[in-house]
Structure 1
Protein backbone atom coordinates (compact mmCIF):
# COMPACT_ATOMS: atom_id res chain seq x y z
CA UNK A 1 0.00 0.00 0.00
CA UNK A 2 1.36 3.40 -0.97
CA UNK A 3 1.89 6.22 1.55
CA UNK A 4 -0.82 8.40 -0.07
CA UNK A 5 -3.36 5.59 0.39
CA UNK A 6 -2.39 5.20 4.03
CA UNK A 7 -2.67 8.94 4.55
CA UNK A 8 -6.14 8.98 2.97
CA UNK A 9 -7.28 6.05 5.11
CA UNK A 10 -6.01 7.76 8.26
CA UNK A 11 -7.79 11.02 7.39
CA UNK A 12 -11.29 9.52 7.11
CA UNK A 13 -13.35 7.54 9.55
CA UNK A 14 -16.20 5.77 7.79
CA UNK A 15 -19.18 3.65 8.86
CA UNK A 16 -22.48 2.63 7.31
CA UNK A 17 -25.67 3.87 9.02
CA UNK A 18 -29.22 2.91 7.96
CA UNK A 19 -28.27 2.15 4.35
CA UNK A 20 -26.09 5.24 4.02
CA UNK A 21 -22.36 5.75 4.33
CA UNK A 22 -21.17 8.19 6.97
CA UNK A 23 -17.66 9.54 7.33
CA UNK A 24 -15.83 12.28 9.21
CA UNK A 25 -12.75 14.07 7.93
CA UNK A 26 -10.19 13.72 10.73
CA UNK A 27 -8.54 17.04 9.85
CA UNK A 28 -11.64 19.27 9.59
CA UNK A 29 -14.15 17.33 11.71
CA UNK A 30 -16.74 17.81 8.95
CA UNK A 31 -19.07 14.90 8.22
CA UNK A 32 -20.38 13.38 4.99
CA UNK A 33 -23.49 11.27 4.41
CA UNK A 34 -23.91 9.32 1.16
CA UNK A 35 -26.70 7.07 -0.11
CA UNK A 36 -27.27 5.12 -3.29
CA UNK A 37 -30.80 4.29 -4.33
CA UNK A 38 -31.55 2.86 -7.75
CA UNK A 39 -29.72 4.95 -10.34
CA UNK A 40 -28.82 7.86 -8.05
CA UNK A 41 -26.06 8.59 -5.56
CA UNK A 42 -26.56 11.57 -3.23
CA UNK A 43 -23.81 12.90 -0.97
CA UNK A 44 -24.07 15.71 1.60
CA UNK A 45 -20.90 17.13 3.18
CA UNK A 46 -21.13 19.70 5.94
CA UNK A 47 -19.94 23.23 5.23
CA UNK A 48 -18.91 25.04 8.39
CA UNK A 49 -20.24 28.52 9.16
CA UNK A 50 -16.68 29.92 8.83
CA UNK A 51 -16.29 28.33 5.39
CA UNK A 52 -19.60 29.88 4.26
CA UNK A 53 -18.69 33.31 5.64
CA UNK A 54 -15.28 33.30 3.99
CA UNK A 55 -16.55 31.98 0.67
CA UNK A 56 -19.24 34.64 0.27
CA UNK A 57 -17.30 37.58 1.69
CA UNK A 58 -14.58 36.76 -0.87
CA UNK A 59 -17.27 37.06 -3.56
CA UNK A 60 -18.51 40.51 -2.51
CA UNK A 61 -21.06 39.79 0.22
CA UNK A 62 -21.05 42.12 3.21
CA UNK A 63 -20.29 40.54 6.59
CA UNK A 64 -24.00 40.87 7.46
CA UNK A 65 -25.20 39.15 4.27
CA UNK A 66 -22.56 36.39 4.58
CA UNK A 67 -23.65 35.84 8.19
CA UNK A 68 -27.28 35.48 7.05
CA UNK A 69 -26.21 32.58 4.85
CA UNK A 70 -23.80 31.11 7.41
CA UNK A 71 -26.66 30.95 9.93
CA UNK A 72 -28.25 28.23 7.79
CA UNK A 73 -27.36 24.54 7.87
CA UNK A 74 -25.23 24.28 4.70
CA UNK A 75 -24.06 21.25 2.74
CA UNK A 76 -22.05 20.62 -0.38
CA UNK A 77 -24.47 18.41 -2.28
CA UNK A 78 -23.31 15.99 -4.97
CA UNK A 79 -25.68 14.01 -7.19
CA UNK A 80 -24.42 11.31 -9.53
CA UNK A 81 -26.24 9.09 -12.02
CA UNK A 82 -24.92 5.61 -11.27
CA UNK A 83 -27.48 3.90 -13.51
CA UNK A 84 -27.71 3.09 -17.18
CA UNK A 85 -30.47 5.51 -18.24
CA UNK A 86 -30.90 9.28 -17.86
CA UNK A 87 -32.39 10.59 -14.61
CA UNK A 88 -34.02 13.95 -13.91
CA UNK A 89 -34.07 15.79 -10.63
CA UNK A 90 -35.99 18.83 -9.41
CA UNK A 91 -34.78 20.23 -6.09
CA UNK A 92 -38.34 21.52 -5.52
CA UNK A 93 -39.40 17.87 -5.05
CA UNK A 94 -36.89 17.17 -2.28
CA UNK A 95 -38.00 17.48 1.36
CA UNK A 96 -36.13 17.61 4.63
CA UNK A 97 -37.63 16.81 7.99
CA UNK A 98 -36.13 18.14 11.21
CA UNK A 99 -36.80 15.87 14.20
CA UNK A 100 -40.44 16.12 15.29
CA UNK A 101 -41.42 18.61 12.54
CA UNK A 102 -43.29 18.31 9.25
CA UNK A 103 -41.35 18.00 5.97
CA UNK A 104 -40.06 21.24 4.43
CA UNK A 105 -38.98 22.29 0.95
CA UNK A 106 -35.38 23.36 0.41
CA UNK A 107 -35.06 27.14 0.00
CA UNK A 108 -34.88 27.88 -3.72
CA UNK A 109 -32.45 30.12 -5.58
CA UNK A 110 -35.42 32.43 -6.31
CA UNK A 111 -36.13 32.81 -2.58
CA UNK A 112 -32.45 33.50 -1.87
CA UNK A 113 -32.41 36.09 -4.68
CA UNK A 114 -35.26 37.98 -2.95
CA UNK A 115 -33.37 37.91 0.36
CA UNK A 116 -30.15 39.17 -1.26
CA UNK A 117 -31.92 41.99 -3.11
CA UNK A 118 -33.59 43.12 0.15
CA UNK A 119 -30.17 43.12 1.83
CA UNK A 120 -28.63 45.12 -1.00
CA UNK A 121 -26.21 42.43 -2.19
CA UNK A 122 -24.70 43.60 -5.49
CA UNK A 123 -25.46 41.81 -8.75
CA UNK A 124 -21.97 40.30 -9.21
CA UNK A 125 -22.12 38.71 -5.74
CA UNK A 126 -25.65 37.42 -6.41
CA UNK A 127 -24.46 35.82 -9.67
CA UNK A 128 -21.57 34.12 -7.81
CA UNK A 129 -24.05 32.90 -5.20
CA UNK A 130 -26.40 31.51 -7.84
CA UNK A 131 -23.61 29.58 -9.56
CA UNK A 132 -22.47 28.00 -6.27
CA UNK A 133 -25.91 26.60 -5.39
CA UNK A 134 -27.04 23.14 -6.43
CA UNK A 135 -29.03 23.29 -9.71
CA UNK A 136 -32.81 23.61 -9.32
CA UNK A 137 -33.38 21.02 -12.06
CA UNK A 138 -31.11 18.90 -14.21
CA UNK A 139 -31.03 15.80 -16.38
CA UNK A 140 -28.09 13.49 -15.73
CA UNK A 141 -26.90 11.06 -18.42
CA UNK A 142 -25.36 7.83 -17.12
CA UNK A 143 -22.14 8.74 -15.32
CA UNK A 144 -22.98 12.47 -15.09
CA UNK A 145 -22.72 14.30 -11.79
CA UNK A 146 -22.94 17.83 -10.41
CA UNK A 147 -22.42 19.60 -7.12
CA UNK A 148 -23.47 22.77 -5.36
CA UNK A 149 -24.59 24.08 -2.01
CA UNK A 150 -27.98 23.39 -0.41
CA UNK A 151 -29.30 24.95 2.79
CA UNK A 152 -31.67 23.77 5.48
CA UNK A 153 -33.34 25.87 8.17
CA UNK A 154 -32.07 23.73 11.02
CA UNK A 155 -30.07 24.99 14.03
CA UNK A 156 -26.34 24.37 14.28
CA UNK A 157 -25.68 20.77 15.25
CA UNK A 158 -29.40 20.07 14.56
CA UNK A 159 -30.49 16.91 12.82
CA UNK A 160 -32.82 16.11 9.91
CA UNK A 161 -33.74 13.41 7.39
CA UNK A 162 -33.59 14.21 3.66
CA UNK A 163 -35.95 12.65 1.11
CA UNK A 164 -34.45 13.05 -2.38
CA UNK A 165 -36.56 12.49 -5.47
CA UNK A 166 -35.74 11.81 -9.13
CA UNK A 167 -37.43 10.55 -12.27
CA UNK A 168 -36.23 7.82 -14.60
CA UNK A 169 -38.03 5.95 -17.36
CA UNK A 170 -41.21 7.95 -16.72
CA UNK A 171 -41.40 6.92 -13.04
CA UNK A 172 -40.79 8.88 -9.86
CA UNK A 173 -38.33 7.40 -7.36
CA UNK A 174 -37.11 8.48 -3.95
CA UNK A 175 -34.44 7.70 -1.41
CA UNK A 176 -33.58 8.94 2.04
CA UNK A 177 -30.59 10.10 4.03
CA UNK A 178 -31.33 9.78 7.74
CA UNK A 179 -29.90 11.51 10.78
CA UNK A 180 -27.99 14.14 8.82
CA UNK A 181 -26.45 16.62 11.28
CA UNK A 182 -25.67 20.28 10.67
CA UNK A 183 -22.16 21.51 11.36
CA UNK A 184 -21.68 23.32 14.62
CA UNK A 185 -19.91 26.68 14.92
CA UNK A 186 -16.52 25.11 15.64
CA UNK A 187 -16.50 22.41 12.91
Structure 2
Protein backbone atom coordinates (compact mmCIF):
# COMPACT_ATOMS: atom_id res chain seq x y z
CA UNK A 1 0.00 0.00 0.00
CA UNK A 2 1.30 3.38 -0.94
CA UNK A 3 0.67 6.21 1.52
CA UNK A 4 0.37 9.66 0.14
CA UNK A 5 2.50 12.01 2.35
CA UNK A 6 0.11 14.92 1.84
CA UNK A 7 -2.88 12.89 3.12
CA UNK A 8 -0.89 11.93 6.24
CA UNK A 9 -0.13 15.57 6.84
CA UNK A 10 -3.84 16.46 6.41
CA UNK A 11 -4.85 13.70 8.85
CA UNK A 12 -2.36 14.87 11.48
CA UNK A 13 -3.49 18.46 11.01
CA UNK A 14 -7.13 17.42 11.44
CA UNK A 15 -6.28 15.47 14.61
CA UNK A 16 -4.42 18.48 16.05
CA UNK A 17 -7.39 20.74 15.31
CA UNK A 18 -9.78 18.24 16.88
CA UNK A 19 -7.64 17.95 20.04
CA UNK A 20 -7.38 21.73 20.29
CA UNK A 21 -11.15 22.07 19.84
CA UNK A 22 -11.75 19.49 22.59
CA UNK A 23 -9.40 21.33 24.98
CA UNK A 24 -11.17 24.65 24.34
CA UNK A 25 -14.56 22.95 24.83
CA UNK A 26 -13.46 21.36 28.13
CA UNK A 27 -12.08 24.68 29.41
CA UNK A 28 -15.42 26.29 28.54
CA UNK A 29 -17.29 23.62 30.49
CA UNK A 30 -15.02 24.11 33.52
CA UNK A 31 -15.47 27.90 33.45
CA UNK A 32 -19.25 27.48 33.20
CA UNK A 33 -19.29 24.92 36.03
CA UNK A 34 -17.26 27.11 38.40
CA UNK A 35 -19.37 30.15 37.52
CA UNK A 36 -22.69 28.51 38.35
CA UNK A 37 -21.41 26.87 41.51
CA UNK A 38 -19.94 30.06 43.01
CA UNK A 39 -21.87 30.40 46.30
CA UNK A 40 -21.15 34.13 46.58
CA UNK A 41 -23.48 34.73 43.64
CA UNK A 42 -26.34 32.90 45.32
CA UNK A 43 -26.98 34.82 48.52
CA UNK A 44 -30.39 34.11 49.99
CA UNK A 45 -33.25 36.57 49.62
CA UNK A 46 -34.05 37.88 53.08
CA UNK A 47 -36.88 40.07 54.36
CA UNK A 48 -38.25 40.97 57.76
CA UNK A 49 -41.91 41.62 58.51
CA UNK A 50 -43.07 43.46 61.62
CA UNK A 51 -46.01 41.58 63.13
CA UNK A 52 -46.48 43.77 66.21
CA UNK A 53 -44.91 46.72 67.99
CA UNK A 54 -45.83 47.60 71.57
CA UNK A 55 -44.46 49.79 74.31
CA UNK A 56 -43.29 52.78 72.26
CA UNK A 57 -43.82 56.11 74.05
CA UNK A 58 -47.47 57.15 73.98
CA UNK A 59 -46.89 60.75 74.98
CA UNK A 60 -44.06 63.25 75.29
CA UNK A 61 -43.91 62.94 79.09
CA UNK A 62 -42.98 59.24 79.02
CA UNK A 63 -39.22 59.19 79.60
CA UNK A 64 -38.67 55.47 80.11
CA UNK A 65 -40.43 52.90 78.01
CA UNK A 66 -40.20 49.15 77.38
CA UNK A 67 -40.69 48.40 73.68
CA UNK A 68 -41.42 44.98 72.30
CA UNK A 69 -41.16 43.87 68.67
CA UNK A 70 -42.48 40.72 67.01
CA UNK A 71 -40.96 39.92 63.59
CA UNK A 72 -41.05 37.20 60.97
CA UNK A 73 -37.71 36.64 59.26
CA UNK A 74 -38.24 35.19 55.77
CA UNK A 75 -35.30 33.51 54.05
CA UNK A 76 -35.29 31.90 50.62
CA UNK A 77 -32.12 30.03 49.71
CA UNK A 78 -31.71 29.82 45.96
CA UNK A 79 -29.26 29.60 43.14
CA UNK A 80 -29.49 31.13 39.72
CA UNK A 81 -29.59 27.95 37.71
CA UNK A 82 -31.29 25.55 40.13
CA UNK A 83 -28.83 22.77 39.32
CA UNK A 84 -27.15 22.22 42.66
CA UNK A 85 -28.90 22.14 46.04
CA UNK A 86 -28.31 25.18 48.23
CA UNK A 87 -29.39 25.98 51.74
CA UNK A 88 -28.79 28.86 54.13
CA UNK A 89 -28.20 27.83 57.74
CA UNK A 90 -26.96 29.39 60.91
CA UNK A 91 -26.54 28.19 64.45
CA UNK A 92 -27.92 31.10 66.46
CA UNK A 93 -27.53 34.83 66.87
CA UNK A 94 -29.08 38.01 68.16
CA UNK A 95 -31.50 40.63 66.88
CA UNK A 96 -31.03 44.29 67.78
CA UNK A 97 -33.64 46.99 67.07
CA UNK A 98 -32.24 50.51 66.73
CA UNK A 99 -33.71 53.98 66.39
CA UNK A 100 -31.21 56.60 65.17
CA UNK A 101 -28.38 54.21 66.19
CA UNK A 102 -29.72 53.92 69.76
CA UNK A 103 -30.63 50.40 70.88
CA UNK A 104 -34.33 49.99 71.69
CA UNK A 105 -34.61 46.22 72.01
CA UNK A 106 -32.75 42.98 71.55
CA UNK A 107 -33.44 39.26 71.57
CA UNK A 108 -32.06 35.86 70.57
CA UNK A 109 -32.34 34.20 67.18
CA UNK A 110 -32.78 30.41 67.21
CA UNK A 111 -30.93 28.09 64.82
CA UNK A 112 -32.63 27.33 61.52
CA UNK A 113 -32.08 26.42 57.86
CA UNK A 114 -33.79 27.56 54.69
CA UNK A 115 -33.67 25.03 51.88
CA UNK A 116 -33.41 25.78 48.18
CA UNK A 117 -36.36 27.76 46.78
CA UNK A 118 -38.47 27.25 49.91
CA UNK A 119 -39.49 30.15 52.13
CA UNK A 120 -38.44 29.63 55.72
CA UNK A 121 -40.28 31.93 58.12
CA UNK A 122 -38.82 32.27 61.60
CA UNK A 123 -40.57 34.19 64.41
CA UNK A 124 -38.25 36.59 66.22
CA UNK A 125 -38.89 38.64 69.33
CA UNK A 126 -36.94 41.59 70.68
CA UNK A 127 -37.68 43.61 73.79
CA UNK A 128 -36.18 46.46 75.73
CA UNK A 129 -36.59 47.35 79.38
CA UNK A 130 -36.85 50.92 80.60
CA UNK A 131 -35.19 52.41 77.54
CA UNK A 132 -34.38 56.07 77.98
CA UNK A 133 -33.60 58.28 74.99
CA UNK A 134 -32.22 61.83 74.96
CA UNK A 135 -35.07 64.36 75.05
CA UNK A 136 -34.75 65.38 71.39
CA UNK A 137 -34.86 61.73 70.24
CA UNK A 138 -37.70 60.90 72.62
CA UNK A 139 -39.86 63.69 71.19
CA UNK A 140 -38.94 62.74 67.63
CA UNK A 141 -39.71 59.04 68.21
CA UNK A 142 -43.06 59.90 69.80
CA UNK A 143 -44.10 62.07 66.84
CA UNK A 144 -42.86 59.62 64.21
CA UNK A 145 -44.40 56.58 65.95
CA UNK A 146 -47.73 58.40 66.30
CA UNK A 147 -47.72 59.17 62.56
CA UNK A 148 -46.47 55.70 61.61
CA UNK A 149 -43.26 56.96 60.02
CA UNK A 150 -40.63 56.06 62.64
CA UNK A 151 -37.76 54.40 60.77
CA UNK A 152 -36.02 51.66 62.69
CA UNK A 153 -33.01 49.56 61.87
CA UNK A 154 -32.88 45.87 62.67
CA UNK A 155 -29.49 44.20 62.81
CA UNK A 156 -29.28 40.43 63.01
CA UNK A 157 -25.92 39.01 64.00
CA UNK A 158 -25.44 35.42 62.85
CA UNK A 159 -23.10 33.22 64.86
CA UNK A 160 -21.46 29.90 64.06
CA UNK A 161 -21.46 26.90 66.39
CA UNK A 162 -18.38 28.29 68.22
CA UNK A 163 -20.03 31.64 68.92
CA UNK A 164 -18.00 33.54 66.33
CA UNK A 165 -19.72 36.06 64.09
CA UNK A 166 -20.52 34.37 60.78
CA UNK A 167 -22.34 37.26 59.16
CA UNK A 168 -24.73 40.13 59.64
CA UNK A 169 -28.16 40.86 58.19
CA UNK A 170 -29.19 44.51 58.10
CA UNK A 171 -32.82 45.58 57.60
CA UNK A 172 -34.28 49.09 57.51
CA UNK A 173 -37.90 50.23 57.43
CA UNK A 174 -40.81 51.97 59.13
CA UNK A 175 -42.02 50.71 62.49
CA UNK A 176 -45.59 49.92 61.39
CA UNK A 177 -47.13 46.50 61.80
CA UNK A 178 -47.16 44.43 58.58
CA UNK A 179 -44.30 46.53 57.21
CA UNK A 180 -41.89 44.38 55.16
CA UNK A 181 -38.24 45.40 55.34
CA UNK A 182 -35.80 44.45 52.62
CA UNK A 183 -32.58 43.09 54.10
CA UNK A 184 -28.97 42.73 53.07
CA UNK A 185 -26.62 39.94 54.03
CA UNK A 186 -23.24 41.47 54.85
Q: Same fold (TM over 0.5)?
A: no
Rg larger for? 2
TM-score category by the smaller chain? 0.3 to 0.5
TM-score between the two structures when normalised by the length of structure 2: 0.38
Instruction: Give the TM-score, by structure 1 length.
Output: 0.38
